Amino acid sequence: MRHDPRSADSRAPWRRLLAAWRAWLLWAVVLVLLALDWHASTPHRRFAEPMPLALGNGPAADAGHCSLAPAK
């Protein structure tokens, strides 16, 4: 039983075309899912959190959470 190399070569372009279509389909599905997620999600309110408190000094003036220095 011998393998005919011509039959495998004749299917190679179709396999490449099928792989290309699968790749396009994958990215189309990913983009559709991202668009649906973006459309369905609520907007993020960046400044809706309360002001952090400086330890013993009342509210920290004009500072975020990361500006509080750790106490040693």
Tell me, yes or no, whether 67 lies in a domain.
no
Structural domain range at position 10: 1-45
Using 50 as the pLDDT threshold, list the residues of the chain that sit under it. Answer: none
CA 26/CA 21 separation, integer angstroms: 9
Task: Give me the number of domains the chain comprises.
Answer: 1
Q: What is the pLDDT of residue 43?
A: 83
Tell me, yes or no, whether 66 lies in a domain.
no
Tell me, yes or no, whether 12 lies in a domain.
yes
Tell me, yes or no, whether 6 lies in a domain.
yes
What predicted TM-score, i.e. pTM, was given to this entire model? 0.49
